[in-house]
Structure 1
Amino acid sequence: MAQNSGDKGTGGPEFPGFDPKAVEAYIVKDPHEMAMNFARAMENLGKAASEWLAPRERGDIPDPALDPLSDLIKTLSQVTEYWISEPQRTLQAQTLLFSSYMEIWTRSLSQFGGAPQESEPAALPRDKRFADEDWVKNPFFAFMRQVFTVTATWAETLVAEAQGLDEHTRHKAAFYVKQVTAALSPANFAITNPEVYRATVASHGANLVTGMKMLAEDIMAGGGELRLRQTDASKFALGLNIALTPGKVVARNDLCEVLQYEPTTETVFKRPLVIVPPWINKFYILDLTPQKSFIKWCVDRGHTVFVISWVNPDRRHAAKGWEAYMHEGIDFALDTIETSTGEREVDAIGYCVGGTLLVATLAFHAKTNVKRIASATFLATQVDFTYAGDLKVFVDEAQVSTIETYMNATGYFDGSKMAAAFNMLRASELIWPYVVNNYLKGQEPLPFDLLYWNSDSTRMTPANHAYYLRNCYLDNKLSNGLMELAGERLSLKDIVIPVYNLATSEDHIAPAKSVFLGSSLFGGSVDFVLAGSGHIAGVVNPPERRKYRYWTDGQLKDTLEDWVAGSQEHEGSWWTHWQDWIGPKAGNQVPARKPGGSALTALADAPGTYVLVRD
């Protein structure tokens, strides 16, 4: 339609809210080339489908024992049953939704008619998925966004107000609704995402050709499962530009390597420092780059640092359980440290599930009168799992039994499945933006060391993982004094050494409320500290970056909210606060120690060999 000169760019008289210039970027300029690229994209999509089907047809991928879809349907059907069991409830639910739709329709007609619009409807929450201005200015995309938002809110309301659900089922239903709505966001589809639509028109569909090619490559890389690329992995190599702190592997057994790092100071604290990382991921999250390395930071401040590097297990390790990880992991490291340095007592740090294992080991040591760890630092570590967050969605008797069946058949728990569960906790940040950017926009992800580490998943042994799920998440035995390890019943009150207990405020894996609750269960003094940000960024926060904040000196007898209200707020990183805490406990200064001392021969350079084995 031609635009009259008097319209001044506001549209023709029939449609005063229509501006032709606003839709130029959405008009296909070369239909032939677009059609050819669509055909190429469909060809690449066919290759992706073949990569997905082939291993299943060969039997390389059996029928899935772990099927979250069936649990999703089962859980949400209980919510649906409540709302459709009585006509009045059904009408109430429908009225709530359709009244919102009518408001959106009225607003959209007004917008298309040229009426002045708010820059952002007040009812819409800020959401970076909808950052493009056309989610507000363009009537079509604004309509799609508003319909999605009110539908998602409506679904969450139905879960919240459904009666007769037990707490676990309601938690699962709320989680699954968020997963479904995150997946169905209009931002995830080419036709309903203005950025993707414009990119498709501008490139005549070449973005989809590239994107479907990447999809096929990622399914091939996953052996028939989608291995979503979040970073350019080709830009990283352990020991070359990541995990660079100099050191040696000074001991090795079937379950772990023990690394000792080269000193950078002439003298060091008398008491060595051992770090127990989680086996769910690899230890080098604490040694990403020299600028971000907690390990290097500790070495530079005079600590003799040892780190356990867990093996990436396979079928041979199937029977290795928590007792093995305690004796062949932590105790083996303690023996190695004593041989290397002559010191029997150490200060210990445990991160995430590595911290939970360290707590159990400390309780076992106390029960058996072993005194080898003089202080303990726990980083984002849970010992009570009452408030363990959304990961509890995946843990009930039926799901744990299914996982055990799967692990017993395969000989291990596939690390990619655990990585997928972690990504689902933040799907709107860790899954769908990469689906859009990679497969719809056809953009290669940028190199990012943290996401490279995140994608470097590890397997887990059946004995270890089943013990952890049942004793911690399912039955919460550790905090209740019911966990048995190596024939001993463990009590956290037996742990009387000084404890530094760090939680992070936005943690989705070890929620701060959960970590805080555990602080009251130890028998000795506990310094609880709350750091800003989440499970990784809140821990890996070098002081030089001057990011985030941390809080100290609240009252442990209070709730977390009360503790925060009575705490002291500090700028920057908790690292310096921890150093002030650990320094006086670590003993006098002694001459710096070389890795292995005079008793042990180096087996390999850091970061070692076990860490190189990929899932």
Structure 2
Amino acid sequence: MPQKPKPPKSAQPKAPSAPPPRRSVPSVPHPTSAAPGHTHASLDRSTMATLARMTSGLSPHAILDAWGDWAMHLARAPGRQIELMERAQSNWLKLARFAAAATLGQSPEKPFAPGRYDTRWTHQGWAKAPFAVWQQGFLATQDWWQGATSDLRGLKRQNAQRTGFMMRQLLDTVSPANFPVANPEILEKTWQTGARNLFDGAVHYADDAHHILANEHRPVPDQFALGKVLACTKGEVVFRNELMELIQYSPTTDKVQAEPVLIVPAWIMKYYILDLSPENSLIRWLVGQGYTVFCISWRNPGAEHADLSLEDYRLQGVMQALEEVNRIVPDQKVHANGYCLGGTLLAITAATMARDHDTRLASITLMAAQVDFAEAGELLLFLDESQVAYLEDMMWAQGYLDRPQMSGAFAAIRSEDLIWTRAVRRYFLGEPDLPTDMGVWVNDTTRMPARMHSEYLRGVFLENRITAGRFAVEGRVIALKDIEVPMFVVATETDHIAPWRSVYKTALFTDCDMHVLLTKGGHNGGILSEPGHKGRHYRIGHRPAGAHYLDPDSWLAANDPVAGSWWPEWSRWLDSHSSGTQAARIPALGLGPAPGEYIHQC
């Protein structure tokens, strides 16, 4: 049976460690601090910050620039204008034929289909007149605007995508699904309940409005209490500083692999996405496979942490955690795992360690994490110089990027499902938001320190410096191709935050031995793909060190789907890069039981 070691001296309860000396990152500016004495600049920034609060962080200049660019290029393109007139005529004729047939009681084939994630039309009432005609009219208009905002010679592609995105947002506001008299599901529910659904919806609306206006953070429901139902894998907080807590989980096997696993989650949300309910907890499952698992839990920063930098997150976060893992498990290399932005930070850290001949890593796993942001999906629609400067001024005034300002951008990408469908069900159908483990985690959002988020948006996202060879750490540029340890890169098929082809580009900028795995699902659901989850599959391919690059479409064609969860595949890969087993390691008494204190910060 595993033996419980004596508590190491450094793991005893203590005051938060002093942060290491800050080192400059000259290649990434941090314009979130106003220079003293520059009253004119401060006035400008205060004005922009006020406007930013009024527009929820969206730059009016960026919006006007996109529409102006689109309108000017369309005005000088008579061929496209004729094409759009023909498209309007074609759509109108299709709609007229459908409406005539539907009015006569026939069941014609619908000429326009909703988008992949558009669940507003699932009720059977949308198949009958007049609702079917209204639905098809909306989709016909949506189809025309999709053609009108498609790529046009000379038009910036980002502006074409922005105008299309903004038109989808505007059209969604007038969708017939949003109005009780035009939505058959709302009418049916109102008839069945005697309008009770509308009363319940009004109560829900008042409650939501109160929380939004008061900027109140909804507490985690008791049935999903943190540390009892969610994030309940047993462990001990073995280290804490001003930026993070390090959790070591208790073993559930007599033997464990010699090399421990260190998990670096994203700081944009709380870590327990990887330790949700017991049945879908990746951390609990990994512990059960015979690994000593450590995980970082980031604190939720406030205005007092405005000057924390991306380098602080590397030094006081990943590097400090690695130091503690080395202290607790001496003389062993570490399997490092980074999720989402945590994976980007881990890649930066690993490249820096490789440059400095630091050989403490046994392997690197990146889950839904990007290192190149040239194809970062629809999030790019929110970023250009004007937009980033706008956000910087807002963060300069607040000290951080607040939760609603960040979560709104993610919801807008899938507004038809994440905003409008939810609104209809909650406010018109009177249905409460039934909490789920994933839903609780999504709502448990965090803030972003002003300086760090500015450095990330500019240096990593907007200017794409990591793969451009212009990202400096401690005054010297890093290169991903310096990484020599084996890598395991996980992407998800329907990821709208880190599109899989963007994640796959890790293979383009590295030369090490690499396995790339593409799993079914989205950014979060694809990662939480526990064994036994129905309908799951994945593809996996191996690139030996130094092999030629294979483009993503050729890779996809060369690797057939495999039924089941990808977790066992990853476990087998970890085992193949481990040196053997030993007696299980029980965490020494430290600063309190998992999940620690930082997870509860609002």
TM-score by length of structure 2 reads: 0.86
Q: Distance in 2 between matches of 1:233 and 1:425?
A: 27
Trace 1:60-459 onto structure 2 (pairs within 5 A): 63-64=54-55, 66-67=57-58, 71-84=62-75, 93-114=84-105, 116-118=106-108, 120-125=109-114, 128-137=119-128, 139-224=129-214, 233=221, 235-459=223-447
Query: What are the Cα deviations for residues 7-39 of structure 1, in whole angstroms up to 9, with x where unaligned?
Result: xxxxxxxxxxxxxxxxxxxxxxxxxxxxxxxxx
1:595 alignment partner in structure 2: 587
| Letter of the structure 1 residue corresponding to residue 541 of structure 2 | D
| Letter of the structure 1 residue corresponding to residue 402 of structure 2 | D
Using the TM superposition, give the Cα deviation of residue 349 of structure 1 relative to its aligned residue in structure 2, in angstroms.
0.3
Using the TM superposition, give the Cα deviation of residue 476 of structure 1 relative to its aligned residue in structure 2, in angstroms.
0.8
Is 1:580 the counterpart of 2:572? The answer is: yes
Using the TM superposition, give the Cα deviation of residue 84 of structure 1 relative to its aligned residue in structure 2, in angstroms.
4.8
Change in Cα spacing, 1:468 to 1:161, as seen in structure 2 (3 Å) is closer
Q: Residue 530 of structure 1: SS of its match in structure 2? A: strand
Using the TM superposition, give the Cα deviation of residue 95 of structure 1 relative to its aligned residue in structure 2, in angstroms.
4.8
Which is further off, 263-272 or 76-85? 76-85
| Letter of the structure 2 residue corresponding to residue 592 of structure 1 | A
Which is further off, 246-255 or 418-427? 418-427
Q: Distance in 2 between matches of 1:72 and 1:152?
A: 20
Using the TM superposition, give the Cα deviation of residue 206 of structure 1 relative to its aligned residue in structure 2, in angstroms.
2.8
CA contact (8 A) 1:264 1:299 kept: yes
Using the TM superposition, give the Cα deviation of residue 291 of structure 1 relative to its aligned residue in structure 2, in angstroms.
0.6
Using the TM superposition, give the Cα deviation of residue 92 of structure 1 relative to its aligned residue in structure 2, in angstroms.
5.2
Using the TM superposition, give the Cα deviation of residue 74 of structure 1 relative to its aligned residue in structure 2, in angstroms.
4.2
| Letter of the structure 2 residue corresponding to residue 368 of structure 1 | D
Q: Residue 268 of structure 1: SS of its match in structure 2? A: strand
Q: Which runs of 4+ in 1 moved over 6 A?
A: none
Using the TM superposition, give the Cα deviation of residue 591 of structure 1 relative to its aligned residue in structure 2, in angstroms.
1.2
Q: Distance in 1 between matches of 2:449 and 2:519?
A: 32
Query: What are the Cα deviations for residues 505-562 of structure 1, in whole angstroms up to 9, with x where unaligned?
Result: 1111111111111222123111111111111111110112243111122666222111
Unaligned regions of 5+ residues in structure 1, if any? Answer: 1-58
Change in Cα spacing, 1:81 to 1:226, as seen in structure 2 (3 Å) is farther
Change in Cα spacing, 1:77 to 1:273, as seen in structure 2 (3 Å) is same
CA contact (8 A) 2:306 2:451 kept: yes
Which is further off, 351-360 or 471-480? 471-480
Unaligned regions of 5+ residues in structure 2, if any? Answer: 1-49
Using the TM superposition, give the Cα deviation of residue 106 of structure 1 relative to its aligned residue in structure 2, in angstroms.
4.1
CA contact (8 A) 2:57 2:405 kept: no
Identical positions, percent: 34
Using the TM superposition, give the Cα deviation of residue 133 of structure 1 relative to its aligned residue in structure 2, in angstroms.
2.1
State the number of aligned residues. Answer: 547
Change in Cα spacing, 1:435 to 1:65, as seen in structure 2 (3 Å) is closer
Using the TM superposition, give the Cα deviation of residue 235 of structure 1 relative to its aligned residue in structure 2, in angstroms.
3.4
Which is further off, 203-212 or 253-262? 203-212
Cα RMSD of the aligned pairs, angstroms, is 2.4
| Letter of the structure 2 residue corresponding to residue 313 of structure 1 | P
TM-score by length of structure 1 reads: 0.84
CA contact (8 A) 1:272 1:343 kept: no
Trace 1:503-542 onto structure 2 (pairs within 5 A): 503-542=491-530
Using the TM superposition, give the Cα deviation of residue 239 of structure 1 relative to its aligned residue in structure 2, in angstroms.
1.1
Q: Distance in 2 between matches of 1:250 and 1:377?
A: 23
Q: Distance in 1 between matches of 2:57 and 2:498?
A: 23
Using the TM superposition, give the Cα deviation of residue 117 of structure 1 relative to its aligned residue in structure 2, in angstroms.
2.2
Query: What are the Cα deviations for residues 547-587 of structure 1, in whole angstroms up to 9, with x where unaligned?
Result: 31111226662221110111143111111111111113222
Q: Residue 251 of structure 1: SS of its match in structure 2? A: strand
2:4 alignment partner in structure 1: none
Q: Distance in 2 between matches of 1:379 and 1:200?
A: 45
| Letter of the structure 2 residue corresponding to residue 573 of structure 1 | S
CA contact (8 A) 1:416 1:458 kept: no
Query: What are the Cα deviations for residues 287-323 of structure 1, in whole angstroms up to 9, with x where unaligned?
Result: 1011101101110111000000000001121111111
Which of 1 and 2 has greater Rg?
A: 1
Using the TM superposition, give the Cα deviation of residue 224 of structure 1 relative to its aligned residue in structure 2, in angstroms.
4.6
Q: Residue 595 of structure 2: SS of its match in structure 1? A: coil
| Letter of the structure 1 residue corresponding to residue 199 of structure 2 | V
Using the TM superposition, give the Cα deviation of residue 199 of structure 1 relative to its aligned residue in structure 2, in angstroms.
2.0
Change in Cα spacing, 1:219 to 1:334, as seen in structure 2 (3 Å) is same
CA contact (8 A) 1:270 1:588 kept: yes
CA contact (8 A) 2:347 2:371 kept: yes
Q: Distance in 2 between matches of 1:400 and 1:306?
A: 34
1:33 alignment partner in structure 2: none
Change in Cα spacing, 1:209 to 1:334, as seen in structure 2 (3 Å) is same
Q: Residue 105 of structure 1: SS of its match in structure 2? A: helix
Higher normalized contact order (CA 8 Å, seq sep 6+, divided by chain length): 2
Using the TM superposition, give the Cα deviation of residue 162 of structure 1 relative to its aligned residue in structure 2, in angstroms.
3.6
Change in Cα spacing, 1:260 to 1:162, as seen in structure 2 (3 Å) is same
Which is further off, 231-240 or 419-428? 231-240
| Letter of the structure 2 residue corresponding to residue 164 of structure 1 | G
Change in Cα spacing, 1:412 to 1:331, as seen in structure 2 (3 Å) is same
Query: What are the Cα deviations for residues 231-250 of structure 1, in whole angstroms up to 9, with x where unaligned?
Result: 99453210121111001111
| Letter of the structure 2 residue corresponding to residue 541 of structure 1 | S
Using the TM superposition, give the Cα deviation of residue 496 of structure 1 relative to its aligned residue in structure 2, in angstroms.
0.8
| Letter of the structure 2 residue corresponding to residue 193 of structure 1 | N
Q: Residue 391 of structure 2: SS of its match in structure 1? A: helix
Q: 2:559 aligns with which of 557, 567, 588?
A: 567
Q: Residue 371 of structure 2: SS of its match in structure 1? A: coil
